[in-house]
């Protein structure tokens, strides 16, 4: 076999972990939004994006394969979040 160059990290499978030591709660809800994935834990809400959503032309090879952003300090334990976002998802079947 010929030696093949290693695959770029974006072309390989992988996994991710929410990188917030203050939030040790499990993911309770996940759904897609226009520019990524919305993850809701018991305490917080996060947006995750893969590198190809951020840099589709692959001009930045140093970009991490998965990017996460904490959106706000409300999760499934929050009445505000449950009565707005999660209820809207059920009502409008988003």
pLDDT digits (tens, 9 = 90+) for 25-50: 899 888 888 788 989 999 999 999 98
Per-residue model confidence (pLDDT) at position 47: 92
Per-residue model confidence (pLDDT) at position 44: 92
Q: Distance between CA 35 and CA 56 in Å, rounded?
A: 12
Calculate ∠ Cα 80-81-82, nearest 5°.
Answer: 95
| Residue, of 39 and 1, whose pLDDT is higher | 39
64-93: pLDDT as tens digits: 888 899 998 988 888 888 878 777 767 666
pTM of this structure: 0.75
Residue 77 CA: distances (Å) to CA of 7, 63, 83: 41, 33, 11
Q: CA torsion, points 65, 70, 71, 74, in degrees to nearest 10? A: 140
Per-residue model confidence (pLDDT) at position 45: 92
Q: Where are the domains of the chain?
A: 9-13+23-92
């Amino acid at each position: 076999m010929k030696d093949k160059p290693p695959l770029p990290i974006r072309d390989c499978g992988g996994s991710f972990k929410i990188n917030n030591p203050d939030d040790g709660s499990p993911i309770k809800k996940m759904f897609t939004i226009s520019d990524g994935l919305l993850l809701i834990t018991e305490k917080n809400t996060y947006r995750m994006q893969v590198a190809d959503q951020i840099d589709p032309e692959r001009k930045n090879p140093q970009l991490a394969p998965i990017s996460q952003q904490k959106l706000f300090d409300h999760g499934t334990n929050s009445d505000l979040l449950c009565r707005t976002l999660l209820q809207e998802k059920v009502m409008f079947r988003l």
